[in-house]
Amino acid sequence: MMKLFLPQTQLEEWALGDKADLKDGKLVVMAEGGASFPAVPAVHFVQLVTGEDTHKLVAKVKTEAQLQSLGAEQMADSVILGESAYEVVPGYLTEVAAAPRPADKKPSSETDLLAAFILNKMG
């Protein structure tokens, strides 16, 4: 299984282009005939703004449930945890099964296609 973080801005771009959208907690990829993958709200910790990174969150992705268990508060593109404030990128975390494949071979399953699509757009 491969976990992929999808920034909200990227999802909005895909939705405007009718490429993919979020519906009922699932990422629906239109190019794949509506194939869907579970997606949960999450944030990517970009940098520490104030305080100390005692929880080692910079460069990590945490779901809303994980933030709640830590006692953290998210407000737009910021997360406050105790005396520390972080800049974050809001988005969604999805998980797909993607088997390794040779670079010259085309993706064969919906999950391979989603991973290739997402990694191509993110790269």
pTM of the model: 0.78
- Hey, where are the domains in the chain? 2-122
Contact 47, 25 (CB under 8 A): no
pLDDT tens figures, 2-35: 888 999 998 999 899 888 899 999 998 887 677 8
- Nearest CA to 66 out of 55, 52, 50, 53 is that of 55
